[in-house]
Amino acid sequence: MSDKKMAFNTKTIHGGQEPDKAYGSVMPPIYQTSTYAQSTPGGHRGYEYSRSGNPTRHALEMSLASIENGSFGLAFGSGLAAIDAVMKLLSPGDEVISTNDLYGGSYRLFTRIFEGFGIKFHFVGMQDAGAVEALVNENTKLIWVETPTNPMMNVIDVSAMVAIARKHKLLLAVDNTFATPYLQQPLDMGADIVMHSATKYLGGHSDVVMGALVVNDKDLADRLFFIQNASGAVPGPMDSFLVLRGIKTLHVRMQRHCENGAAVARFLRQHPKVGKVYWPGFEDHPNHEVAKAQMKDFGGMISFIPKGGEFRDAIAIVEALKVFTLAESLGGVESLAGHPASMTHASIPKTEREKSGVVDALVRLSVGIEDVEDLIADLDSALGAF
Ligand code: P1T
């Protein structure tokens, strides 16, 4: 069956895949090799050196392209390496408009590395499309969207951003890490580049660090493949195998992440010791209508503030959790809790992060796929800790 005809739940398993040419192995072998024999210089069978290409990584890249409804997939050594490759499309003097609420490491890469190379970043609340368009000038080259945002769960209207990008001939990139292609497919909405921290839901088992890009345009793909090879931040074959295996269950995991996420969000919201809960599935979430229109469901990421809470209350809660593990990262089968201000978003100056709501009392949850009753009991007991 051609890829184009497959439904999403079939693509995660079969998209872009064919049995291995040597023995028909159903899963691609882990081609743990750096190089390939040549009969004469240039006389190779499609692969010459594993930075440039490796069959296991290629199988993964085909899968990535398929699940995002794109034509070309590229795998990188981490999510940040994938973002780094996108930024290398730019030149000194170019400007980027980015979401103001985003992963702290993305902010650090933009402001501490690429600003030093003469690229200017504007951070803006993208829920207001007018505020985005007002920042466009003749140097603007790229709009960087993260949706839902990490950690405030704002939802950005991708179609509105596409309209601005098309009008002003800008590239539009969407960090699809929180949603995954199970929930939204930005290329179908008109985005030029989809980016993932494959470390998260795509890998799904907290055992790999990896990044990904997917695009449709051949010229853009060629430029990114050039950067991937020239800069060299590629993942190894073992990690490629693990993410490919993870993707095969993405749809069933995501379904459970969404169900558990909804139950945990509703539990927190009615709890007397909980103040604000950030989750796009609530009808009164400011971007709920956009989320409903562009996402299939609302995901398993939730942030909340303990009622009247301060820094020490958030710390007491995350330390008291027993089923949730206190750890950086998200998107694995196991539930994780984090304290953005001191962990994932510590690299954003306090005044900057507080402007987008990342206050000291904020707790972030990655709701896993355990029995939801155990997750709720764990939270209930930990909320008793302050
Ligand atoms: O960690 P890495 O694979 O390099 O991916 C970076 C990244 C990019 N984009 C988003 C939305 C992310 O959440 C991340 C990584 N985030 C965490 C480690 C975290 O705990 O939020």
- Which ligand 1 atom sits nearest the alpha carbon of residue 151? 21
Cα→Cα distances 319→45, 322, 326, 365, Å: 54, 8, 7, 13
Query: What CATH number is attached to the domain comprising 178?
Result: 3.40.640.10
Q: What is the pLDDT of residue 256?
A: 98
Task: Using most ligand atoms within 8 A of CB, pick from 199, 326, 356, 358 the residue to mutate for ligand 1.
Answer: 199
Q: Report the pLDDT value the prediction gives residue 1, as an integer from 0 to 100.
A: 72
Domain of 319, in residue numbers: 250-383
Interior/surface letters 142-180, b for 16+ CB within 10 angstroms, e for the rest: bbbbbbbbbbbbbbbbbebbbebbeeeebbbbbbbbbbb
Taking every pair of Cα atoms in the chain, the longest distance, rounded to a whole number of angstroms, is 73
Question: What would the mean pLDDT of 228-240 be, rounded to a whole number?
Answer: 98
Domain count, the chain: 2
List pLDDT tens digits, range 351-384.
999 999 999 999 999 999 999 999 999 999 999 9
Q: Is the pLDDT assigned to residue 220 strictly greater than 80?
A: yes
Q: How confident is the model at residue 255 (pLDDT cuts 50, 70, 90)?
A: very high
pLDDT in tens, 16-49: 999 998 999 999 999 999 999 999 999 999 999 9
3-state secondary structure of 188: coil
Indicate the pLDDT class of residue 2, thresholds 50, 70 and 90: confident
Above pLDDT 70, what percent of the chain?
Answer: 100
Choice from 103, 196, 345 to test ligand 1 binding pocket (greatest atom count within 8 A of CB): 103
Q: What is the 366 CA–ligand 1 centroid distance (Å)?
A: 12
Q: Is residue 337, in this structure, part of any structural domain at all?
A: yes
Q: How far is the CA of 23 from the centre of ligand 1 (A)?
A: 37
Q: Is 200 a catalytic residue?
A: yes
Domain match, 122 and 217 both: yes
Q: Is 19 exposed, middle or buried (0-12, 13-18, 19+ CB in 10 A)?
A: exposed
- Is residue 51 part of the annotated active site? The answer reads yes
- 158-184 pLDDT per residue, tens: 999 999 999 999 999 999 999 999 999
Q: Is 371 a catalytic residue?
A: no
Point out the catalytic residue in the list 31, 57, 157, 200. 200
**Closest by CA position to 33, among listed 2, 55, 6, 61:** 55
- 157 shares a domain with 212: yes
Sheet holding 120-124, edge to edge: 72-76, 211-215, 193-197, 171-175, 140-146, 95-99, 120-124
- Same-domain status, 172 and 318: no
Q: Which two tokens stand for residue 190?
A: 């008109």
What is the model's pLDDT at position 309?
82
Q: Band the pLDDT of 127: cuts 50, 70, 90.
A: very high
**Is the same domain home to 205 and 229?**
yes
Q: For residue 79, report the distance from its CA to the centre of ligand 1, in Å.
A: 6
Question: What is the rounded CA–CA span in Å between residue 210 and residue 199?
Answer: 5
Task: Judge if 229 and 277 occupy the same domain.
Answer: no
How many angstroms separate the CA atoms of 269 and 272, rounded? 8
With 80 as the cut, is the pLDDT of residue 4 above it?
A: no
113 falls within a domain: yes
Q: Are residues 114 and 128 in the same domain?
A: yes
Q: Let me know if residue 239 belongs to a domain.
A: yes
| pLDDT interval class at 302 (50, 70, 90) | very high
Ligand 1: residues whose CB is within 6 Å?
Answer: 78-80, 103, 105-106, 146, 150, 175, 177-178, 197, 199, 209, 211, 328-330, 338, 344
Ligand 1 atom closest to Cα of residue 199: 3
Measured in angstroms, how far is the CA atom of residue 248 from the centroid of ligand 1?
Answer: 21
Q: Is 140 exposed, middle or buried (CB count within 10 Å of its CB: 0-12, 13-18, 19+)?
A: buried
Distance (Å) of CA 78 to CA 190, 336, 357, 376: 25, 20, 27, 32
178 CA: nearest ligand 1 atom? 11
User: 103, 107, 182, 201: which is the annotated catalytic residue?
Assistant: 103
Residues 119 and 184 in one domain: yes
- Ligand 1, closest atom to CA 82? 4
Q: How confident is the model over 58-81, as a mean pLDDT?
A: 98
- Residue 178 tokens read as 């929180």
Do 178 and 122 share a structural domain?
yes
Distance 201 CA to ligand 1 centre (A): 11
Q: Do 137 and 207 share a domain, yes or no?
A: yes
Is the pLDDT confidence value at 91 over 90?
A: yes
CA of 39 to the centre of ligand 1 (A): 43
Sheet holding 325-326, edge to edge: 274-278, 301-306, 363-366, 336-338, 325-326
Nearest CA to ligand 1 atom 18: 329
Give, as one character, the DSSP assignment of residue 109. I
Q: How far is CA 12 from the centre of its chain?
A: 17
248 is catalytic: no
**Of 101, 157, 175, 313, catalytic:** 175
Range list of β-strands (E), 247-350: 274-278, 301-306, 325-326, 336-338
Q: Does pLDDT of 289 surpass 90?
A: yes
Strands 211-215 and 95-99: unpaired
Residue 270 has what pLDDT?
97
pLDDT band with cut points at 50, 70 and 90 for residue 3: confident
Per-residue burial over 315-348, b if 16 or more Cβ lie within 10 Å, else e, is bbbbebbebbbebebbbbbebbbbbbbebbbeeb
Rounded to the nearest angstrom, the distance between the alpha carbon of 329 and the centre of ligand 1 is 7
Q: DSSP state, 114? A: I
CB 301 within 8 A of CB 365: yes
Last residue of a domain, one of 204, 232, 247: 247
Q: Do residue 226 and residue 320 come from a single domain?
A: no
Angle at 341 (CA atoms; ends 371, 320), nearest 5 degrees: 40
The H or E element that residue 215 is part of is strand 211-215
> Structure pTM?
0.98
Of the residues 3, 47, 51, 223, only one is catalytic, namely: 51
**To the nearest whole number, what is the mean pLDDT of the chain?**
97
Closest ligand 1 atom number to CA of residue 336 = 20
Report CA-CA distances (Å) from 211 to 156, 233, 240.
Answer: 22, 10, 10
Asked whether residue 1 is domain-assigned, the answer is no
Q: Are residues 258 and 201 in the same domain?
A: no
The predicted pLDDT at position 5 comes to: 87
- Measured distance CA(347)–CA(109) in Å, rounded: 10
Residue 190 confidence (pLDDT) above 90: yes
Same domain, 101 and 34: yes
Q: Does 242 have pLDDT greater than 80?
A: yes
Among residues 208, 225, 247, the one where a domain terminates is 247
Residue 2 inside a domain? The answer is no
User: Which protein residue's CA is at the shortest distance from atom 3 of ligand 1?
Assistant: 79
